[in-house]
Chains A and B, each alone.
Chain A
Amino acid sequence: MSDPALRFDHVTFTYPEGARPALADVDLQIAEGAFVLAVGPTGAGKSTFLRSTNGLVPQFTGGRFRGRVHVAGRDTTEHPPRALADVVAFVPQDASASFVLDRVEDELAYGMENLGVAPAHMRRRVEEMLDLLDIEPLRTRSVRTLSGGEQQRVAIAAALTAGPRILVLDEPTSQLDPQGAEDVIAALQRLVHDHGATVLVAEHRLDRVAGAVDVALGFDRGSVRMGDPAEVIRRLAIGPPVARLGRLVGWDPVPLTVRDARALAQTLPMRIVADAPAAGETRISVRGLSAEHDGVPALRRIDLRIGGGEIVALMGRNGAGKTTLLRSIVGVHRPSAGDVLVDGRAPQPGVDVGLCPQEPESILFADTVADEVRSTLQARELPDDPDTILIELGIDDLASRHPRDLSAGQRLLVAAAAIAAARAPVLLLDEPTRGIDPDAKERLTRFLRSHAADGGVAVFATHDVELAAAVATRVVMLAGGEVIADGDPATVLGDSRVFAPQMTRVFGPGWLTPEQVAEAMA
């Protein structure tokens, strides 16, 4: 039998300032040609594990490293990452920060140039990858002008051109719309099935990949359990909505895919959607709003009325105009026509409307979480009471921590607290759940519900269908800068092939969350 693609021999690793090991005695082998999923809560060691496959850990991070990692037979402590570039390719979570060159085509060739691949061969590989990832039309574009989904596919293609034996990806679909995510997963599957590649992928949104992989690595505080995906996911008590339903109603084994769940499911009558609770008085009214982004029309004559108590999910492809709409409502993007009123008048940015930006990091600067909230309170001349909002978001235990030391999910909650502390009645969030773990998501949704229950409005842009199904009272779907659907989640999501949540796919229209289904089956 040939060498395994990847072998970890009793690897224990602690970051320079880490109190406990980030990887604890990891001992496993990954066979050539396997499609492997790494799952587990944030901070459990997934990223550390992925980055140790090509020696970035410990060679870039420092820290104490024991044990051995072999990739395609080469020891990662004896070879620098660049000497492993021909066998392992790594796509980091933030693909846009990993681009070295500017033009898509050059970016694809970069890795091969470094390896000294012959020009004729290089040319052929680039053309192949452009087709395989379906990015041919982008070849002369600047990588900085691409949408998130396009950037991700370019990063994958760039990683693959060097012809590595193993491809490692850290949450490749976290920034993508549902179709973009399907495309990426499908491309990975094609690589494994048709081209014999070995793929190792970390992912939070298991609804996409759980059914596609052969093996799963379950991470829990640095230790890893390898096994059948269903088995691993069941142990970690996480999983896609079908798995959550399986646990709620006691199916064994828990299903991982919609298809598995259908086989187990009894038929349920079509769920009668109760009328959504009547929205309160109109708080946001968007009238004939058009806006441009870099001279290109981004919104076309949008009309929307949103009332107190509503939680609105704004959905649509990358580039559909979600961010521009949020920025227009908050008053920082000047419309080319039409206007936005909040409570009957032009909103005072930040006072009537708060916006949590796509990168929560871009507002964090204080030394502690409490001070971060305090700086908002001081600026707004509100009473010095950071604890209330921290308790509302369920992060009062983090009050004295440094925001930069927290996980992505915790940082989002801190940013949300710093913004919500101003007590603007309208709260907007731009893709709040990308890259965050279920626990942080749960805290955020609880907060949004209580904000709405107090008569406030929450509007969030998201690609996360299941989040929209679980928390939104209304879904507004955008395409090409226009509203193409607007209504309660059961109708809007249930009516879509791309955006339907898993429960709808299994049980038909009207069913949105595992909790609803479990209740009906009980």
Chain B
Amino acid sequence: MNIHPAAWIAWATCAGIVAFSTTNPFYLALVIAIAWFVYAACHVPGPTARSFRVFLIAGLAAMAIRTALVFFGTVDANNVAFAAMEGMRLATILVVFGTFNAVTDPFGVVRMAPRRFHEPALAAALALSIAPRTIASAQRVREAQTLRGLRTTGLRSLPALAIPILETGMEDAVTLAESMDARGHGHGTRSRYRPQPWNRRSILCTGAALTAAGAFSAAAFTGVGGLHPSTFPLLWPEVSAGLLAAAGLLAVPGLSRSRGAP
């Protein structure tokens, strides 16, 4: 029983809302841990799986940069803590997106887009699929150029990496565009092959994710639960058991795992 792409969209959106609504490092750490868990349980093997790591690294880098920016201004514990928490929120959102990328087939998402939105959705899916392809191609090119003795770090070595990656990427993009056209893309009325039914698991995941997002939104609205720990003065963040439980609901997709069945 696979999770419907729409349920994944709901999950990612809700997890994003949860992360966006708080700067409390405990909640954020929990969301990151859950995203990792869901990735580990549900990712589709293949190049898209690798993009999770890239988003994780990007998240950590974003957090580090956000924190480092403080050092251009007044450096004190309050400012550093504030920046680190802000950065962590950004990192969490990126990690959630990385998980979404790794657990869904972007084209599966497109296939369920309403006909009117098919073109923009397809463009978005192609853009998404370019990331993993480019990563794979970059690895190949870097390895081959290293073997030739070329340096692959530093600005001067950029052409040796970027040109083959870009040119190959362009050629692939043209081949793909031609292939889609030659196979009748955008020709007329589409039909759908084995549309994926909504199943219990998808409903469960969507419901759990909506509950989590609802709880955090309500907390943000009422100002309870320690969503934004004080940094002036710097206090130990308070944590609400209810919100921890609500965030925990985001782990539901990873709990009832199943593999292989179409």
The residues of A with any CB-CB pair to B shorter than 8 Å are 51, 54, 56, 60, 80-86, 88-90, 92, 94, 97-103, 105-106, 109-119, 122-123, 126, 139-140, 142, 144-145, 158-159, 162, 330, 332, 349-351, 354-355, 357, 359, 361-365, 375-376, 379-380, 404, 418-419, 422
- Contact residue among A102, A114, A123, A365 (Cβ-Cβ distance under 8 Å from B160): A365
Chain B residue numbers with a CB within 8 Å of A83 are 184, 187
B29 interface residue, CB < 8 Å from A? no
Contact between chains at B164 and A376 (CB < 8 Å): no
- Contact residue among A90, A115, A123 (Cβ-Cβ distance under 8 Å from B187): A115
- Contact residue among A60, A88, A363 (Cβ-Cβ distance under 8 Å from B164): A363
Chain A residue numbers with a CB within 8 Å of B201 are none
Given contacts A114-B185, A359-B168, A365-B159, contact A92 B178 (CB under 8 A): yes
Chain B residue numbers with a CB within 8 Å of A419 are 147-148
B221 interface residue, CB < 8 Å from A? no
Interface string of B185-202 (1 = CB under 8 A from A): 111111111100000000
**Residue among A56, A98, A145 facing the most chain B CB atoms (10 A cut-off):** A98
CB distance from A116 to the nearest CB of B (A): 4
B17 interface residue, CB < 8 Å from A? no
CB distance from B261 to the nearest CB of A (A): 8
Between-chain CB contacts (< 8 Å), 24 pairs: A81-B178, A81-B181, A83-B184, A85-B187, A90-B182, A94-B175, A98-B176, A106-B108, A106-B193, A109-B194, A112-B191, A115-B184, A117-B191, A118-B191, A119-B194, A142-B45, A350-B147, A357-B143, A359-B168, A361-B167, A363-B148, A364-B164, A365-B159, A365-B161
Chain A residue numbers with a CB within 8 Å of B180 are 100
Contact between chains at B181 and A80 (CB < 8 Å): yes
Chain B residue numbers with a CB within 8 Å of A118 are 191
| Cα distance, A228 to B206, chains bound together (Å) | 64
| Cα distance, A251 to B186, chains bound together (Å) | 54
**Residue among B106, B180, B192 facing the most chain A CB atoms (10 A cut-off):** B180
Contact between chains at B46 and A144 (CB < 8 Å): yes
| Cα distance, A361 to B187, chains bound together (Å) | 34
Chain A residue numbers with a CB within 8 Å of B111 are 101, 106, 113
- Contact residue among A97, A101, A139, A363 (Cβ-Cβ distance under 8 Å from B145): A363
- Contact residue among A51, A86, A350 (Cβ-Cβ distance under 8 Å from B146): A350
CB distance from A514 to the nearest CB of B (A): 35
B262 interface residue, CB < 8 Å from A? yes
Given contacts A97-B176, A102-B105, A362-B144, contact A85 B183 (CB under 8 A): yes
Contact between chains at B182 and A82 (CB < 8 Å): yes
Contact between chains at A92 and B181 (CB < 8 Å): no
Summarize B's interface: helix, strand, loop or mixed: helix
The 3 closest A-B CB pairs, nearest first, are A85-B184, A109-B193, A114-B184
Chain A residue numbers with a CB within 8 Å of B182 are 54, 56, 81-82, 84-85, 88-90
Chain B residue numbers with a CB within 8 Å of A379 are 148-151
Contact between chains at A100 and B176 (CB < 8 Å): yes
- Contact residue among B105, B177, B187 (Cβ-Cβ distance under 8 Å from A103): B105
State the interface size on chain B (CB cutoff 8 A): 54
Given contacts A140-B260, A363-B145, A365-B163, contact A116 B183 (CB under 8 A): no
Given contacts A56-B178, A100-B176, A350-B146, contact A122 B184 (CB under 8 A): no
Contact between chains at B175 and A56 (CB < 8 Å): no
| Cα distance, A376 to B171, chains bound together (Å) | 25
Chain A residue nearest to B44 in the complex (CB): A142
Chain B residue nearest to A419 in the complex (CB): B148
Contact between chains at A98 and B175 (CB < 8 Å): yes
- Contact residue among B164, B178, B187, B188 (Cβ-Cβ distance under 8 Å from A362): B164
Chain B residue numbers with a CB within 8 Å of A51 are 178
| Cα distance, A343 to B117, chains bound together (Å) | 62
Contact between chains at A102 and B108 (CB < 8 Å): yes
Contact between chains at A357 and B144 (CB < 8 Å): yes
Contact between chains at B144 and A144 (CB < 8 Å): no
CB distance from A84 to the nearest CB of B (A): 8
| Cα distance, A418 to B160, chains bound together (Å) | 13
Interface string of B35-46 (1 = CB under 8 A from A): 000000000111
- Contact residue among A86, A330, A380, A418 (Cβ-Cβ distance under 8 Å from B184): A86
- Contact residue among B150, B161, B193 (Cβ-Cβ distance under 8 Å from A119): B193
- Contact residue among A101, A109, A162, A361 (Cβ-Cβ distance under 8 Å from B168): A361
Contact between chains at B147 and A332 (CB < 8 Å): yes
Chain B residue numbers with a CB within 8 Å of A158 are 183
B172 interface residue, CB < 8 Å from A? yes
| Cα distance, A90 to B147, chains bound together (Å) | 37
Contact between chains at B194 and A144 (CB < 8 Å): no
Contact between chains at A114 and B164 (CB < 8 Å): no
B47 interface residue, CB < 8 Å from A? yes
